[in-house]
Amino acid sequence: MKTAELVTRTVELFWKLLTGIVMTAFALMLIIMAIQVISRYVLGIAVPWTDEASRYLFLAEIFLGSVLALRYQEHIRITIVTDVLSPSLRNIATSVADVICVLVLLMLVVGAWNMMDRTAGIMASTFRMSFSYIYLIQLISALLMIGLLLQDLYQRVVGSRYPTTEESRSD
């Protein structure tokens, strides 16, 4: 197997794994919330860990799901201005937007790193898990999004053909 093939397969496996993680987090969150509702309103028993667990799974789902949305170019956009621009001006506007997003994500990385340090010794109230893991998910998600944005920016700057949304979905 050639190196390029190995890298391609590894990247495809990574995206499938990330998709599986997001889907599992969503399914677990639904199950835990069902347990919470049934136990509280049907059985009259409060299960304390369900609230915290569903919150953490929701955060993981949001941040890691944002990475997938960016990869497939599925984030909500307002394109009223860029639709009227010429292709070259549209590329410039998109590149500027990517740079701004990278800067914002870098601030998120710094903030997540600082919060990981501050919350490393603080445990969740209902089970033994450090709060720093929540910020680790934010940090990883921001770094992955920075990588995707830089890849798109590089492709635009060097002039290679930028894939449409339908083409990028087939990856």
pTM of the model: 0.83
Place of tokens 């053909």: 161
3-state secondary structure of 130: strand
Inform me whether the pLDDT recorded for 164 exceeds 80: no
Domain ranges of the chain: 1-76, 77-163
Q: What is the pLDDT of residues 102-129, one digit of tens each?
A: 999 999 999 999 999 999 888 888 888 8
Q: Look at residues 106, 105, 162, 109 and name the one whose alpha carbon lies nearest to residue 135.
A: 109
Q: What is the pLDDT of residues 1-43, one digit of tens each?
A: 788 899 899 999 999 999 999 999 999 999 999 999 999 888 8
32-38: Cβ within 8 A, 24+ apart: 32/57
Q: Specify burial of residue 136 (Cβ count, 10 A radius: 0-12, 13-18, 19+).
A: middle
- Residue 121 is given by DSSP the state T
Secondary structure (DSSP) of 58-108: HHHHHHHHHHHHHHTT-S----TTGGGS-HHHHHHHHHHHHHHHHHHHHHH
**How far is 120 from 111, CA to CA, in rounded Å?**
14
